[in-house]
Amino acid sequence: MALNRDFIGRASAPSAPYEVSRVKIKEFASAIGDNNPIYRDREAALAAGHPDVIAPPTFPIVFSLGGGALLADPELGLNFAMVVHGEQRFEYRRPIHAGDELVTVSTVTDIRSVGRNEFITVKSDVTTVDGELVCTTYNTIVERGGAG
Protein backbone atom coordinates (compact mmCIF):
# COMPACT_ATOMS: atom_id res chain seq x y z
CA MET A 1 0.00 0.00 0.00
CA ALA A 2 1.31 3.45 -0.87
CA LEU A 3 2.28 5.58 2.09
CA ASN A 4 0.07 8.53 2.94
CA ARG A 5 1.67 11.61 1.34
CA ASP A 6 -0.22 13.85 3.77
CA PHE A 7 2.52 12.98 6.24
CA ILE A 8 5.14 15.01 4.35
CA GLY A 9 5.98 17.99 6.56
CA ARG A 10 4.36 16.48 9.61
CA ALA A 11 6.38 16.83 12.84
CA SER A 12 6.28 14.83 16.03
CA ALA A 13 5.69 16.41 19.41
CA PRO A 14 8.99 16.87 21.29
CA SER A 15 10.00 13.57 22.89
CA ALA A 16 10.25 13.16 26.63
CA PRO A 17 13.85 13.97 27.58
CA TYR A 18 16.19 11.02 27.09
CA GLU A 19 18.86 10.86 29.77
CA VAL A 20 22.14 9.59 28.35
CA SER A 21 23.80 7.27 30.87
CA ARG A 22 27.30 5.83 31.11
CA VAL A 23 25.75 2.38 31.45
CA LYS A 24 23.76 2.69 28.21
CA ILE A 25 26.75 4.04 26.28
CA LYS A 26 28.86 1.13 27.52
CA GLU A 27 26.13 -1.38 26.60
CA PHE A 28 25.82 0.11 23.11
CA ALA A 29 29.60 0.19 22.60
CA SER A 30 29.80 -3.47 23.66
CA ALA A 31 27.00 -4.40 21.26
CA ILE A 32 28.92 -2.92 18.34
CA GLY A 33 32.11 -4.59 19.57
CA ASP A 34 33.92 -1.32 20.21
CA ASN A 35 36.36 -1.28 23.12
CA ASN A 36 37.35 2.37 22.85
CA PRO A 37 38.04 3.59 26.42
CA ILE A 38 36.47 6.99 25.63
CA TYR A 39 33.08 5.18 25.67
CA ARG A 40 33.71 3.48 29.02
CA ASP A 41 36.32 5.21 31.11
CA ARG A 42 35.53 8.69 32.40
CA GLU A 43 39.22 9.48 32.95
CA ALA A 44 40.05 8.56 29.35
CA ALA A 45 37.19 10.77 28.15
CA LEU A 46 38.35 13.68 30.31
CA ALA A 47 41.90 13.24 29.02
CA ALA A 48 40.52 13.57 25.47
CA GLY A 49 38.83 16.83 26.43
CA HIS A 50 35.27 15.61 26.97
CA PRO A 51 33.13 16.35 30.05
CA ASP A 52 32.28 12.66 30.50
CA VAL A 53 32.23 9.47 28.43
CA ILE A 54 30.87 10.18 24.97
CA ALA A 55 28.60 8.09 22.77
CA PRO A 56 29.54 6.39 19.49
CA PRO A 57 28.50 8.33 16.36
CA THR A 58 25.53 6.04 15.66
CA PHE A 59 24.22 6.07 19.25
CA PRO A 60 21.29 8.48 18.62
CA ILE A 61 19.46 5.62 16.87
CA VAL A 62 18.73 4.38 20.41
CA PHE A 63 16.40 7.28 21.17
CA SER A 64 15.52 8.71 17.73
CA LEU A 65 14.61 5.45 16.00
CA GLY A 66 13.06 6.86 12.89
CA GLY A 67 10.73 9.22 14.69
CA GLY A 68 8.84 6.30 16.28
CA ALA A 69 5.36 7.73 16.79
CA LEU A 70 5.18 9.25 13.29
CA LEU A 71 6.07 5.97 11.58
CA ALA A 72 3.80 3.93 13.84
CA ASP A 73 0.73 6.06 13.05
CA PRO A 74 -1.72 3.69 11.29
CA GLU A 75 -2.78 6.58 9.03
CA LEU A 76 0.70 6.49 7.43
CA GLY A 77 0.13 2.91 6.28
CA LEU A 78 3.64 1.58 6.87
CA ASN A 79 4.03 -2.20 7.01
CA PHE A 80 6.96 -2.70 9.40
CA ALA A 81 7.45 -6.32 8.33
CA MET A 82 8.56 -5.06 4.91
CA VAL A 83 10.80 -2.26 6.16
CA VAL A 84 14.54 -2.12 5.55
CA HIS A 85 16.89 0.75 6.24
CA GLY A 86 17.75 2.88 3.21
CA GLU A 87 20.00 5.70 4.35
CA GLN A 88 21.20 7.19 7.60
CA ARG A 89 23.18 10.26 8.51
CA PHE A 90 24.25 11.93 11.76
CA GLU A 91 25.35 15.56 11.71
CA TYR A 92 26.96 16.67 14.98
CA ARG A 93 27.39 20.07 16.62
CA ARG A 94 29.21 18.35 19.44
CA PRO A 95 29.56 14.78 20.73
CA ILE A 96 26.79 13.38 22.94
CA HIS A 97 28.05 12.64 26.43
CA ALA A 98 26.78 10.91 29.55
CA GLY A 99 24.57 13.27 31.50
CA ASP A 100 23.00 14.87 28.44
CA GLU A 101 19.22 15.16 28.59
CA LEU A 102 18.07 15.13 24.99
CA VAL A 103 14.79 16.02 23.34
CA THR A 104 14.04 14.85 19.80
CA VAL A 105 11.66 16.44 17.32
CA SER A 106 11.16 14.44 14.13
CA THR A 107 9.76 15.68 10.83
CA VAL A 108 8.80 13.69 7.74
CA THR A 109 10.68 15.51 4.99
CA ASP A 110 9.95 13.23 2.03
CA ILE A 111 7.91 10.26 0.85
CA ARG A 112 8.55 8.90 -2.63
CA SER A 113 8.20 5.78 -4.75
CA VAL A 114 11.24 4.21 -6.39
CA GLY A 115 10.24 1.27 -8.51
CA ARG A 116 7.97 -0.89 -6.38
CA ASN A 117 9.37 0.45 -3.11
CA GLU A 118 8.27 3.32 -0.92
CA PHE A 119 10.92 5.60 0.61
CA ILE A 120 10.24 7.81 3.62
CA THR A 121 12.77 10.26 5.07
CA VAL A 122 12.60 11.54 8.63
CA LYS A 123 14.79 14.37 9.92
CA SER A 124 15.26 14.53 13.67
CA ASP A 125 16.68 17.46 15.59
CA VAL A 126 18.23 16.42 18.88
CA THR A 127 18.59 19.24 21.40
CA THR A 128 19.37 19.45 25.09
CA VAL A 129 16.51 20.29 27.45
CA ASP A 130 17.97 23.82 27.41
CA GLY A 131 17.51 24.05 23.65
CA GLU A 132 21.12 23.56 22.49
CA LEU A 133 21.18 21.71 19.14
CA VAL A 134 23.50 18.72 19.53
CA CYS A 135 22.82 16.57 16.51
CA THR A 136 20.56 16.27 13.49
CA THR A 137 19.79 12.82 12.11
CA TYR A 138 18.42 11.92 8.68
CA ASN A 139 16.79 8.52 8.39
CA THR A 140 15.41 7.03 5.17
CA ILE A 141 13.57 3.74 5.39
CA VAL A 142 12.30 1.60 2.57
CA GLU A 143 9.06 -0.33 2.53
CA ARG A 144 9.70 -3.18 0.10
CA GLY A 145 6.90 -3.64 -2.38
CA GLY A 146 4.94 -0.80 -0.79
CA ALA A 147 4.34 0.98 -4.08
CA GLY A 148 3.52 -2.20 -5.98
Partner 1 sequence: MAATVKYDEVEVGQEIPAADYPVRRINLVMYAGASGDFNQIHWNERFAKTVGLPDVIAHGMFTMAQAGRFVTDWAGDPGAVVDYGVRFSSMVVVPDDDEGTVITVSGVVEEKLEDKRVVVALTAKCADSRVLSKARALVQLS
Cα gap 63→60, rounded to integer Å: 6
Per CB under 8 A, which region of 12-20, 53-61, 69-77, 120-128 contacts partner 1?
53-61
Using CB under 8 A, pick the residue from 86, 107, 112, 147 that binds partner 1: 86
Per CB under 8 A, which region of 3-11, 52-60, 102-110, 116-124 contacts partner 1?
52-60
Interaction between residue 95 and partner 1 (CB under 8 A) = yes
How many residues bind partner 1 (CB under 8 A)? The answer is 38
Q: What is the 3-state secondary structure (H, E, C) of 13-80?
A: CCCCCEECCHHHHHHHHHHCCCCCHHHCCHHHHHHCCCCCCECCCCCCHHHHHHHHHHHHCCCCCCCH
Cα gap 38→42, rounded to integer Å: 7
Interaction between residue 23 and partner 1 (CB under 8 A) = no
**In the complex, minimum distance from the CB of residue 88 to partner 1, in angstroms, rounded to a whole number:** 6
Q: Which is nearer to partner 1, 88 or 107 (CB)?
A: 88
